[in-house]
């Protein structure tokens, strides 16, 4: 049986209404990524991501990431090999549609690489798919602990 949701707003609450519709209508983006939602620990080579503690270690050294950096890394690492366009990364991580310049995603990817890669100019973990977007290297040795 389907679910029904009835909402009523005044004119000044129209933004809330639009946001709810946006989430409902755009939920396919979240469904596509839901496979990694239950992953507690991701290990790829020297990189460890503890999703419960929101911590990242490289070579047993904890790396400090911002909230957004962690979310981007978690999204990509939780979907190894899947290519995400900059627009998709923004929509999923920021949880909103963005109509501006997606260079902010590129900037965060650059910062993550600086923190987790031995040689950021030749990244092992987060790969650029030219003209398309980014993916996490599926050839990295990975274990997922649920």
Q: What is the pLDDT of residues 2-47, one digit of tens each?
A: 555 565 555 556 566 555 555 555 544 443 343 445 667 888 989 9
Residues 80-126: pLDDT tens digits? 999 999 999 999 998 887 777 778 999 999 999 999 999 999 999 99
CATH of domain 11-145: 1.10.10.10
Is this model's pTM higher than 0.85 or not? no
Read off the tokens for 11: 């004119």
Count the helices and strands in the chain (H runs, E runs). Answer: 5, 8
The residues spanned by each domain of the chain are 11-145
Neighbour order of strands in the sheet with 47-50: 61-63, 55-58, 47-50, 41-44, 142-145
**Lookup: tokens for 1:** 């049986």
């Amino acid at each position: 049986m389907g679910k029904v949701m009835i909402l009523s707003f005044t004119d000044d609450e129209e933004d809330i209404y639009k946001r709810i519709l946006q989430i409902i209508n755009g939920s396919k983006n979240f469904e596509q990524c839901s496979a990694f939602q239950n992953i507690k620990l991701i290990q790829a080579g020297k990189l460890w991501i503890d999703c419960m503690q929101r911590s990242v270690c490289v070579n047993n050294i904890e790396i400090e990431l911002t909230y957004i950096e962690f979310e981007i890394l978690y999204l990509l690492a939780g979907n190894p090999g899947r290519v995400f366009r900059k627009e998709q990364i923004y929509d999923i991580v920021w949880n909103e549609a963005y109509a501006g310049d997606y260079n902010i995603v590129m900037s965060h990817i650059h910062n993550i690489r600086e923190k987790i890669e031995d040689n950021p100019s030749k990244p092992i973990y987060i790969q650029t798919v030219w003209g398309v977007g980014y993916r996490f290297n599926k050839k990295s040795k990975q274990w997922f602990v649920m």
